[in-house]
């Protein structure tokens, strides 16, 4: 954590970003602007989500995305809002999104950054008024400025992320992000239209007693995962599973716990997307003192080979992730 400047609870997100930039004398302010663009889009999406049920934004959009999922109207709305904000902001040359088949070129050829985004996470929970989220990763382009973004720019390992974050649209709306100097959380005050620092320097407990897993797939889970789940039950752990990765992750980050999405018969490489979901949360978990694994290796070191690549994900308190890995190792 860069603690040259400890900012008090109640600092606005804009001021926080500005003051953090002062810690880096050669920073140009472009990353700060990009983070502000994401926060603005999050406020707009928050507004749409809060009106769901009153205006016609719930339900299916009537098309499948490249993941083979039925898109919800809010998946499409959030995707449009984030892309528009990033295009208008000018700092990003290319975007990859869970909802788009191919790279989106913003036309900002001089933009230094690439954004990978899951615009709306947990879309099956929209219509039932349960917490949902947004997940984003920011990378520096590796191609020369002045040209369009390339596949190589977009297919960087998680270790190359320069910032990552999520928004949880929950009982209150929060934005949590890292630039590799610790994790900070901001709570949205809707009447003022501002995010305020509410969770400075977030640290996750080293261990906990919550496990989060959709056990519907149990019969096709790897043996090591089945054995770990038995271990959780033998030890009287609590099972907690919302079905919105952001919300499950956020709860476990604060309380201590482990989230597990293993390979299943339906999803042999797991369900979650390496570039839109796993890497961003892995960066945040590690920055908060936690861990993220495929079950066999560190998530952030996986070499991406496809835009929409999936990976098993075991993420949360470090001791619990280690334990799952031990069970996986012991399975053969």
Known binding-site positions for substrate:
121-124, 214, 241, 271
Count, residues in the chain: 332
CA 62, CA 56: separation in Å to the nearest integer?
Answer: 14
| 281 binds ligand AHG, rule: CB under 6 A | no
Q: Which of 328, 6, 56, 64 is nearest to 197 (CA)?
A: 6
Q: Which of 37, 91, 118, 248 binds Mn ion (CB under 5 A)?
A: 118
Q: How many residues bind Mn ion (CB under 5 A)?
A: 5
Query: Which of residues 67 and 150 has its CB atom nearest to Mn ion in the complex?
Result: 67
Q: Which of 69, 127, 215, 326 binds Mn ion (CB under 5 A)?
A: 69
Q: Are 50 and 157 in contact (CB under 8 A)?
A: no
Angle between helix 73-89 and 30-50 (nearest 10): 150
| 106 binds ligand AHG, rule: CB under 6 A | no
Please provide residue 99's backbone torsions phi and psi, each rounded to the nearest 5 degrees. -90, 0
- Per the listing, tokens 């993420």 go with 315
CA 112, CA 93: separation in Å to the nearest integer?
Answer: 6
Query: Which of residues 198 and 214 has its CB atom nearest to ligand AHG in the complex?
Result: 214
Question: Read out DSSP for 54-91?
Answer: TBS--SEEEEE-TTS-EEEHHHHHHHHHHHHHHHHH--
Q: Which does 32 bind (CB under 5 to 8 A by kind): ligand AHG, Mn ion, none?
A: none
Please provide residue 201's backbone torsions phi and psi, each rounded to the nearest 5 degrees. 45, 60
| Angle, alpha carbons 244-248-250 (nearest 5°) | 115
- Point out the residue whose Cβ comes nearest to ligand AHG: 214
Query: Which of residues 69 and 148 has its CB atom nearest to ligand AHG in the complex?
Result: 69
| 121 binds Mn ion, rule: CB under 5 A | yes
| 248 binds Mn ion, rule: CB under 5 A | no
Q: Are 285 and 291 in contact (CB under 8 A)?
A: yes
Q: Which does 244 bind (CB under 5 to 8 A by kind): ligand AHG, Mn ion, none?
A: ligand AHG
Q: Which of 71, 106, 123, 318 binds ligand AHG (CB under 6 A)?
A: 123
Query: Which of residues 10 and 68 has its CB atom nearest to ligand AHG in the complex?
Result: 68
Q: Which helix (H) or strand (E) holds 184?
A: strand 183-189
Residues 203-222 that bind ligand AHG (CB under 6 A): 214
Stretch that binds ligand AHG, among 114-122, 159-167, 171-179, 283-291 (CB under 6 A): 114-122
- Residue list, annotated binding site: 98, 118, 120-124, 214, 241, 271, 277
- Residue list, annotated binding site for Mg(2+): 98, 118, 120-121, 277
Residues 169-188 that bind ligand AHG (CB under 6 A): none
| 91 binds Mn ion, rule: CB under 5 A | no
| 71 binds ligand AHG, rule: CB under 6 A | no
- Per the listing, tokens 């929409």 go with 308
Q: Which does 229 bind (CB under 5 to 8 A by kind): ligand AHG, Mn ion, none?
A: none
Within its chain, how far is the Cα of 183 from the centroid? 13
Q: Which residues pair with 135 in a beta bridge?
A: 118, 166
| Contacts with ligand AHG, residue ranges (CB under 6 A) | 69, 98, 118, 121-123, 214, 243-245, 271
| Contacts with Mn ion, residue ranges (CB under 5 A) | 69, 98, 118, 120-121
């Amino acid at each position: 954590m860069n603690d040259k400047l400890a900012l008090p609870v109640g600092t606005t997100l804009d001021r926080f970003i500005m003051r953090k930039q002062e810690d880096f004398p050669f920073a140009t302010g472009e990353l700060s602007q990009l983070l502000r663009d994401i926060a603005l889009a999050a406020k707009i999406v928050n507004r749409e989500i809060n009106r769901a049920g009153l205006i016609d934004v719930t339900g299916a959009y009537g098309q499948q995305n490249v993941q083979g999922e039925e898109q919800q109207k809010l998946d499409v709305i959030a995707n449009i809002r984030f892309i528009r904000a990033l295009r208008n902001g000018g700092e990003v040359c290319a975007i990859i999104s869970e909802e788009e088949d191919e790279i989106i070129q913003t036309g900002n050829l001089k933009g230094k950054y690439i954004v990978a985004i899951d615009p709306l996470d947990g879309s099956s929970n929209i219509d039932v008024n349960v917490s949902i989220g947004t997940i984003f990763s920011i990378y520096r382009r590796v191609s020369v400025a002045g040209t369009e973004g390339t596949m190589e720019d977009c297919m960087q390992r998680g270790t190359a992320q320069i910032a990552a974050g999520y928004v949880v649209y929950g009982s209150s709306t929060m934005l949590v992000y890292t630039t590799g100097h610790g994790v900070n959380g901001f709570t949205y005050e809707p009447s003022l239209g501002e995010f305020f620092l509410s969770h400075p320097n977030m640290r996750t407990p080293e261990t906990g007693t919550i496990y989060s897993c959709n056990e519907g797939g149990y019969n096709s889970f790897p043996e090591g995962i089945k054995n770990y789940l038995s271990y959780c039950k033998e030890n009287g752990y609590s099972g907690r599973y919302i079905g919105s990765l952001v919300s499950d992750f956020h709860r476990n980050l604060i309380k201590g716990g482990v989230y597990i999405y293993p390979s299943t018969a339906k999803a042999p490489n797991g369900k979650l997307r390496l570039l839109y979901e796993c890497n961003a949360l892995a960066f945040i978990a590690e920055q908060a003192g936690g861990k993220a694994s495929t079950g066999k290796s560190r998530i952030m070191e996986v070499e991406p080979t496809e835009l929409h690549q999936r990976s098993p994900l075991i993420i949360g308190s470090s001791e619990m992730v280690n334990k799952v890995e031990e069970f996986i190792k012991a399975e053969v």
